[in-house]
Structure 1
Amino acid sequence: MDALIGQLQQTQSIVAVTGLVLLLLIEHIHPFFDFFHGSIKKKGIHLLANMTLGITNAVITSVFFAVAWLWAASWANTHDFGILNWLDLPVWAHAVGAVLLMDTWMYWWHVMNHKLPFFWRFHRVHHADPNMDVTTASRFHTGEIIFSSILRIPVIMLIGLHLWELLIYGTLLVVVVQFHHANIALPEKLDKMLRAVIVTPAMHKVHHSRWQPETDSNYTSLFSFWDRINSTFRLHDPLETISMGLDEFDSEEDQQVKGLFTMPFREGEEKKDK
């Protein structure tokens, strides 16, 4: 089991790096929005700021929370605790249930980040990116990651997750989250087919709209059907007319590393109720 967990951890890291590089290349060759007008310098500054947050968060979760998640999963399974353990499912059904229940949690955690003002102060760092691309998938304030990581401990126990199931979910999540944040667009028929199951670029661009009714829609991270079930699914046509970001955090300072880290603790130029 230790060998499997190590292999899954390595796979998750390789998938994350490969996805980032590949999508950056595709965005460079054929971007949907010409955010940087061909300026490598502007794109580099944007990448550096977003990835500084991403790398900081990855280090913090690895050092401080990975062990806690392992303990939570081990405790739940040693004590036969948690929804999936109570159901006494076969291994494959346990794994499928684990992925679905974790994604359900992620949906409601995302809703909480929009609806509760305290959490929104941190989550708005992600939404304040006017140039959403694959690096935006890593642009989450460290405070949000810490809150999410702490809450994940009782969630793991309540679901009755195995650590290897959490790693499988994490790998699937990385792939889809990078994909739907990327500054790309798919042919409409392909996007429509894929978004019957997973979140697509066309779907998630709506979530990053400056218009609040669109911002407060399409909360799902992996499986798109949670939004349909909860009546939070929304599309925007034509997609080219979407303006992304937050009006109150549009300054140059807001897009720099210092601005990203301090954003939850200051007010924007134009206050909006969330």
Structure 2
Amino acid sequence: MQALINVMEQTQVAAAAIGLILLMLLEQAHPFFDFFKGSIRKKGKHLAANMALGLTNALLISVFFVGTWLWASNWAYQNQFGLLNWLAIAGLPAWGHTVGAVLLMDLWMYLWHLINHKIPFLWRFHRVHHADPNMDVTTASRFHTGEIVFSSLLRIGVLLLTGIYLWELLLYETLMFAVVQLHHANIALPPNVDKVLRTIIVTPAMHKVHHSRWQPETDSNYSSLFSFWDRLCQTFRLHDPLSSLRIGLDEFDTPEDHKVQGLFTMPFRKGTRRPPEESNQEL
């Protein structure tokens, strides 16, 4: 089992690195928004700040949480505790356990994302992600360390209650992060392709709406991997034309806000969410 986990971890890192490089090249060739037009230095600073957060969080998880998640998963399996283990006793096949694990983790990610928008204390940390006015593939790694700590601690309970194996969690995270990189990338898929794909997964056209400066749009499209959670929970929203979207948060728009120090201190500085306002944006 440990050998499988090691392979999954290596695959996860390789997939994330390959996805980052390929999508950055595609962004450079065909950007949707001209965020960095004529300024390689600006793009470099943006990359460095976002990846500083991403790498810090990856190190934190590797050192402090992976071992704890393994313990929780093993304890649930050895004690036949958790939903999927109970279903396995009732006859759930191995493939059903894995499919169930992916679906349950993605449902949890939807709920966790929604909670981060609804609870002001958690929003203070999550807004570090939303404040990026130049959303691209590196924004997929731009989460405050505080948010990662809260998420990682709660994941212990999720693993115990669901009975998800650690290798299944790593499989889910590999799939999920590949899609997260795609839908944060500063690209646009052909409209017909995006329409077909978003019946199953979250696409760039769908997730760009979530990063809108207009709060009713910010508070929509919470899904990470599978898009159908938003339809089931009636939080799905589109914006037409997509090119008219304004990305970021009005309250954090200075260059200092987006330096590494500014990102780490953002949750502890004043910021005011805008109330819903009249708009001609279409659902």
Sort the TM-score into its range (normalised by shorter chain). over 0.9
Post-superposition Cα deviations, 1:233-253, rounded to whole Å, max 9, x if no partner, equal: 000000000000000000111
Aligned residues: 273
Post-superposition Cα deviations, 1:70-111, rounded to whole Å, max 9, x if no partner, equal: 000000000000001111111100000000000000000000
Letter in 2 for 1:250: D
Q: Which residue of 1 aligns with 2:244?
A: 241
**Shift in Å, 1:6:** 1.0
**Shift in Å, 1:273:** 6.0
Q: Which residue of 1 aligns with 2:214?
A: 211
- Do residues 91 (structure 1) and 94 (structure 2) align? yes
Q: Which residue of 1 aligns with 2:157?
A: 154
Q: Which residue of 1 aligns with 2:279?
A: none
Q: 2:97 & 2:73 partners in 1: Cα distance?
A: 13
- Do residues 176 (structure 1) and 173 (structure 2) align? no
Q: Which residue of 2 aligns with 1:232?
A: 235
Structure 1: 4+ residue segments shifted above 2 A? 270-274
**Shift in Å, 1:2:** 1.8
The match for 2:111 among 108, 111, 119 is 108
**Shift in Å, 1:271:** 5.3
Q: 2:39 & 2:28 partners in 1: Cα distance?
A: 10
Q: Which residue of 1 aligns with 2:9?
A: 9
The match for 1:222 among 222, 225, 237 is 225
Q: Which residue of 2 aligns with 1:34?
A: 34
TM-score (norm 1): 0.98
Letter in 2 for 1:145: I
TM-score (norm 2): 0.95
Q: Decide whether the 8 Å contact of 2:215 with 2:274 is kept in 1.
A: no
**Shift in Å, 1:3:** 1.6
Q: Which residue of 2 aligns with 1:138?
A: 141
Q: CA RMSD in A?
A: 1.0
Q: 2:273 & 2:235 partners in 1: Cα distance?
A: 24
Q: 1:119 & 1:48 partners in 2: Cα distance?
A: 25
Q: 1:57 & 1:94 partners in 2: Cα distance?
A: 29
Which runs of no fewer than 5 residues in structure 1 stay unpaired? Answer: none
Letter in 2 for 1:121: R
Q: Which residue of 1 aligns with 2:18?
A: 18
Residue aligned with 2:251, SS: helix
Q: 1:19 & 1:204 partners in 2: Cα distance?
A: 17
Q: Decide whether the 8 Å contact of 2:82 with 2:163 is kept in 1.
A: yes
Letter in 1 for 2:155: R
Letter in 2 for 1:155: V
User: Structure 1 vs Structure 2: percent identity of aligned residues?
Assistant: 69
Q: Decide whether the 8 Å contact of 2:126 with 2:144 is kept in 1.
A: yes
Q: Which residue of 2 aligns with 1:256?
A: 259
Letter in 1 for 2:240: D
